[in-house]
Amino acid sequence: MDISDLYDASDAVGLADLVRRGEVLPDELLDEALRRVEQLNPRLNAVTMLQEGVARRLIADGLPDGPLAGVPFLLKDLGAEAIDFPSNNGSRLFANTRYARDSAIYARLKAAGLVTFGRTTSPEGGIGPTTEAAVYGGPTRNPWNPAHTPGGSSGGAGAAVAAGIVPAAHGSDGGGSVRIPASSCGLFGFKATRARLPDGPYVGEGWAGMAIDGFLTRSVRDTAVLLDATHGADLGAPYVAPPLEAGFSAALARRDRRLRVAVATTTLTGAPIHPDCRAAVEQTARLLEDLGHHVEEALPAADTAGMMAAWTKIVACGSRLSIEGTVRRRGEPLKPDEIEGIARGAIAYARTVSGSDYLEAINAVHAYGRQMAAFFEGHDILLTATLAEPPAPLGRFNHASEDYVDYRMGPRGVFAYSPFTAAFNASGQPAASLPLHWTAEGLPVGVHLAAAFGRDEMLLGLCARIEEAQPWFDRRPPLGYAAPRS
């Protein structure tokens, strides 16, 4: 089997095993990843800020003896601050930002032996379920259908992994930003319990604790190994997640019996969803019954609409702080083309939010977490769709509009399209999107599983059993790498 076939046939753990056995060299894997960037990125626009020289130096200096040593890897172009990897943070305002020290998440990824060689595109400020930022000169496209979005805000990561450029990539999730691209790109995406992964040293928390790092992968075990390599509070963290029982990789062997699974075939507020999304939920419910679990229809008695309004205020204030703080520090006024319409709208809206309004929004989010916790006293798992529709056409959620509230809360807005994922950023609970359904047109549709706060291992174990029963690894998009043949 040649290097291209090995690369396609292996997940990140599999590639690391090949390196460990001496069957391939890290430089060969990096060469293969770069060939794929060269061939695919002009059509996808998913990879940015390439740093081949840094990657070669990491290999030449001797990679740490970590669980993923030698595997090519990409950081999201938002957060994951690293000395060797400047970032645009999805914005012309922040283009080519450099960092004086490594973030804790990157330091742990580096210690795992990963060979990072660039970043993946994200929308400005991480706001929105698409990746169409002006700083990249055009939209990022979905390898299943280039007319559709790969999701956001980790859309570049989703596109790069789905197309086979890398086996796994870093992402982050403040309202579904790992799980939305996972659903849109036919991948596995897991959001861990709040504070399970480190945020420092640049911030103590993101979006009042709703944001967390994560990964886009093709296999559950890749996510498990990446989480094992990165979890745990960093120095001075404002709070920590409950301790794990045995670890994420150990959880892959779990076979929890007769879990109580609640199923919602509507949104959490009872609104209908697209027939393909409903079909994905119903098929997965039958699969879970076949696996021996108790399945019943149920909806949480929680104020989801109120939570979403609070989320909108908190994120607007975060956007204003980031943008206006940067402008103030540099001592120059903001130029008209430095930020996009939604960012301007978020700033305008944030100026109407008082300090007491902001604290009231945080209290609403905390109250929502308690409401959801009460629901999970009677259920182990909540099964829904990940999105209310298949992946949206490009342009629907671009950042041209300055009506930030309508963009989020309007009848065709983000929360109508993605009514499930932000709920678990607000509650802090672990949640995952699994690629279990495709439309007749060949677009992926994810299903979403959530568990009680701190029950990451139970959830990951269930995901492993579903992957075992209905594997997805070999299902690849039409827009993928074609190795040159002699």
Tens of pLDDT, residue by residue, the chain (486 residues):
799 999 999 999 999 999 999 999 999 999 999 999 999 999 999 999 999 999 999 999 999 999 999 999 999 999 999 999 999 999 999 999 999 999 999 999 999 999 999 999 999 999 999 999 999 999 999 999 999 999 999 999 999 999 999 999 999 999 999 999 999 999 999 999 999 999 999 998 999 999 999 999 999 999 999 999 999 999 999 999 999 999 999 999 999 999 999 999 999 999 999 999 999 999 999 999 999 999 999 999 999 999 999 999 999 999 999 999 999 999 999 998 999 999 999 999 999 999 999 999 999 999 999 999 999 999 999 999 999 999 999 999 999 999 999 999 999 999 999 999 999 999 999 999 999 999 999 999 999 999 999 999 999 999 999 999 999 999 999 998 888 865
**How far is Cα 217 from Cα 200, in angstroms, rounded to an integer?**
24
Q: Which of 91, 103, 153, 219 is catalytic?
A: 153
Q: Which of 76, 110, 191, 313 is catalytic?
A: 76
* Cα end-to-end distance, the chain, whole Å: 15
**How far is Cα 18 from Cα 34, in angstroms, rounded to an integer?**
19
Q: Is the dihedral of CA 331, 334, 337, 338 positive or negative?
A: positive
Sheet of strand 444-451, all strands in order from the earlier edge strand to the far edge = 168-173, 212-217, 188-191, 431-438, 444-451, 381-385, 260-263, 294-297
10 is catalytic: no
DSSP helix, strand, coil percent of the chain (3-state; round to 5): 40, 15, 45
**How far is Cα 94 from Cα 77, in angstroms, rounded to an integer?**
11
**What are the angstrom distances between the C-alpha of 297 and each of 18, 381, 470?**
45, 11, 22
Task: State residue 89's pLDDT score.
Answer: 96
Structural contact between residues 131 and 139, judged by C-beta atoms closer than 8 angstroms: yes
CATH superfamily of the domain spanning 3-306+342-469: Amidase signature (AS) domain (3.90.1300.10)
Cα of 326 vs its chain's centroid, Å: 25
Strand partners, 119: 48, 75
SS3 state at 460: helix
Task: State residue 486's pLDDT score.
Answer: 59
Residue with tokens 């029963």: 469
474 phi and psi angles, rounded to 5 deg: -85, 0
**How far is Cα 104 from Cα 114, in angstroms, rounded to an integer?**
15
The 8-class DSSP code of residue 480 comes to -
CB-based burial, 448-469: b 16+ in 10 Å, e otherwise: bbbbbbbbbbbbbbbbbbbbee
Q: Extract the tokens encoding 7.
A: 């690369």
Task: State residue 484's pLDDT score.
Answer: 81
**What are the angstrom distances between the C-alpha of 229 and each of 35, 83, 107, 169?**
28, 20, 10, 14
Other C-beta atoms within 10 Å of 309: how many? 16
Please give the biggest Cα pair distance in the chain: 68
**How far is Cα 388 from Cα 123, in angstroms, rounded to an integer?**
21
Task: State residue 1's pLDDT score.
Answer: 79
H/E stretch holding 463: helix 456-469
**How far is Cα 196 from Cα 456, in angstroms, rounded to an integer?**
9
**How far is Cα 334 from Cα 326, in angstroms, rounded to an integer?**
9
Alpha helices (runs of H) in 394-455, residue ranges in sequence order = 404-409, 414-417, 421-427
Q: Extract the tokens encoding 415.
A: 């929360």
Task: State residue 336's pLDDT score.
Answer: 87
Q: Give the burial class of 6: count Cβ atoms within 10 A of its Cβ; 0-12 exposed, 13-18 middle, 19 or more buried.
A: middle
Q: Is the dihedral of CA 196, 197, 202, 203 positive or negative?
A: negative
The dihedral over CA atoms of 371, 373, 377, 380, expressed in degrees to the nearest 10, equals 120
**How far is Cα 421 from Cα 13, in angstroms, rounded to an integer?**
28
76 is catalytic: yes
177 is catalytic: yes
**How far is Cα 71 from Cα 15, in angstroms, rounded to an integer?**
6
Q: Is the dihedral of CA 302, 305, 308, 310 positive or negative?
A: negative
Q: Which of 154, 172, 177, 322 is catalytic?
A: 177
Structural contact between residues 85 and 49, judged by C-beta atoms closer than 8 angstroms: yes
**How far is Cα 123 from Cα 281, in angstroms, rounded to an integer?**
29
pTM of this prediction exceeds 0.95: yes
